[in-house]
Amino acid sequence: MFNKRISEQAVQASWNIAVGTSAIASRACVSTWHEDFRKDLTRVDVPTLVIHGDADRIVPFSASGARTAKLIEGARLLLVRDGPHCVTWTHADEVSSALTNFLATKGSDK
């Protein structure tokens, strides 16, 4: 079940977070999934790094990451190859490196 990318401990930690959430809050947030934030994204005026996995089956890259990067002027995009929904767990080194590089340049592309 587990491979090089994610440990049993990471799965257990995710499970613990999920079962510890408020049932009321979990149910209440569902309606926000249909909220359209595209107009808000066009007003972002700070350096932005969008990180998204190309294997995300929960929020597909084409529906979210690609669109987000296009809507935020000057945003940088990191598409993580074989990255699932939570690339911070599975591709931590790649994400950390991208964040470090982004912060080191202070997002100067913007």
> Which is more confident, 54 or 5?
54
Backbone torsions φ then ψ of 31, nearest 5 degrees: -65, -25
pLDDT at 1 over 70: no
Per cent of the chain over pLDDT 70 is 93
**pLDDT tens-digit profile of 40-54?**
999 999 999 999 999
**pLDDT tens-digit profile of 55-67?**
999 999 999 999 9
Residues in the chain: 110
| Mean pLDDT over each residue of the chain, to the nearest integer | 89
Question: What's the mean pLDDT in 4-25?
Answer: 87
**pLDDT tens-digit profile of 91-104?**
999 999 999 999 99
Strand, helix or coil for residue 54: coil
Q: Which helix (H) or strand (E) holds 11?
A: helix 8-19
| Model pTM score | 0.78
User: In order of start, what are the domains of the chain with their CATH numbers?
Assistant: 8-104 (3.40.50.1820)
What DSSP string runs through 59-92? Answer: S-GGGTHHHHHHHSTT-EEEEETT--S-HHHHTH
Question: What's the mean pLDDT in 18-33?
Answer: 90
